[in-house]
Amino acid sequence: MGAAEIGIGIVGYGAMGKAHSYGYRVAPVMRRLRDRPRVRVISGRDREKVAAAATAYGIASSVSDWRDLVGRPDVDIVDICTPPGTHAEIAAAAAEAGKAVICEKPLAVTYAQAASAVAAVEEAHVLNAVGFNYRRLPAVSLMKRMIDEGAVGAVRLLRATWLSDEFVDPAIPFDWRFDRSMGGTTIADLGSHLIDMATWMAGPIAEVSGQSETFARERSGRPVTVDDASAALARFESGASGVFEMARTAVRRPCDFTIEVNGDRGTLVFEYARLNELLYGDGDDRPELYGMRRIRAEHPSHPYTADWWPIGQGVGYGSSFVNQLGDLLDRWPEGPWEPDFAQGAAVQAVCEAIERSAVERRWVTVAEIVG
């Protein structure tokens, strides 16, 4: 007998809809899956544009109302790739219809919305996952593995930055990205990735102290309700300290993020601009080897690399979606899926704590948000 098909419905046809469509198409090529994904339908509010996207992505059907997608009996997984302010409603409807749900980050624009999404999938007992795709880059996953294996010893410091230049020009017209209720803050949009990777590697965050600034306060005659740049100090439950910076006004920074972990025995550094490499400083090295070594995260012994190209050829941004969706499909239909909505909500709680701290100019505990 041939492999069974898993019916996928993608909500949203923009950049993330394209990335997820690519992931489903390539995953069965790069790794052996028990069941084969088939994207059966894609939805978007603009009927002509979503139909054009469906043709470009090789999807047989398109609809202009996501509710029609959720209700289709041939859709097993609803994959949400719309602006963050819509995520919780669509996720709850999909769960109520008995569908597994994959949702792009951030899970929501408020912790209350994120918690409601968690409650919906738990009540319906459906598989659920959040799109923190950067976990699935080989170098990032290798960094996590090395930390777990004691390569840096006890984590003392973690710093993470995400710099882009997408909001530099004040003449950029107003759209949903500048509306906090729809697009979320820069803290939630960019910072959620950083916070997810940081807590994945160093454990939960206990409290934060943040600051934010909006440089262009009006666009197209409408008030901007999101931050252009934010930063935060953090204390982890383990006792480690952290620093985060997120900005969309850093000139000539296209999509640059870094993560550095300093432990009592070593240091690990990941830079997205060199996404197939890690820097590693081993405190036990002989003195004449003092400094950082560069690890090429392309060896078949490294996470995810065996499914890709020969050593030296590297992987890219699109590979993170292939790896992520491949992992989820590998565990269909039993699960569990990771990171799930509960982990997405935990990240949202930290984002909201930073947002509140920036407004109230004080340290804010995550328990204050969750409680």
Q: pLDDT band at residue 2, thresholds of 50, 70 and 90?
A: low
pLDDT in tens, 50-102: 999 999 999 999 999 999 999 999 999 999 999 999 999 999 999 999 999 99
Q: Are 102 and 328 in contact (CB under 8 A)?
A: yes
Torsion, Cα of 51, 190, 91, 109 (10° steps): -120
Starting from the edge strand earliest in sequence, which strands make up the sheet with 266-271, in order?
293-296, 277-282, 266-271, 256-263, 155-163, 241-247, 229-236, 205-213, 364-365
Beta bridge partners of 157: 241, 262
Give per-residue pLDDT as tens, 295-339. 999 999 999 999 999 999 989 999 999 999 999 999 999 999 999
pLDDT at 291 over 80: yes
- The correct CATH number of 5-134 out of 3.40.50.300, 1.10.10.60, 3.30.300.30, 3.40.50.720 is 3.40.50.720
- Phi/psi region, residue 12 (left: phi>0; alpha: psi -120 to 50; beta: rest), is left
Distance of CA 158 to the CA centre of its chain: 18
Which letter does DSSP use for residue 237 in this model? T
Q: Cite the beta strand spans of 83-185 per DSSP E.
A: 100-104, 128-131, 155-163
pLDDT in tens, 116-145: 999 999 999 999 999 999 999 999 999 999
Report, at the CATH architecture level, how domain 135-316+348-360 is classified. Answer: 2-Layer Sandwich (3.30)
Rounded distance between C-alpha atoms, residue 79 and residue 14, angstroms? 13
The domain ranges of the chain are 5-134, 135-316+348-360
Cβ proximity of 325 and 132 under 8 Å: no
Write out the two tokens for 103: 């949702």
Buried b (16+ CB within 10 A) or exposed e, 179-189: bbebbbbbbbb
The SS3 assignment for 35 reads: coil
What confidence category does residue 3 fall into, taking pLDDT thresholds of 50, 70 and 90? confident
User: How many residues can be counted in the chain?
Assistant: 371
What is the tens place of the pLDDT at every residue in 201-244?
999 999 999 999 999 999 999 999 999 999 999 999 999 999 99
- Look at the alpha carbons of 27, 33, 36, 38 in this order and tell me if their dihedral is positive or negative: negative
Query: Given pLDDT bands bounded at 50, 70 and 90, which one contains residue 29?
Result: very high
| Cβ atoms within 10 Å, residue 332 | 18
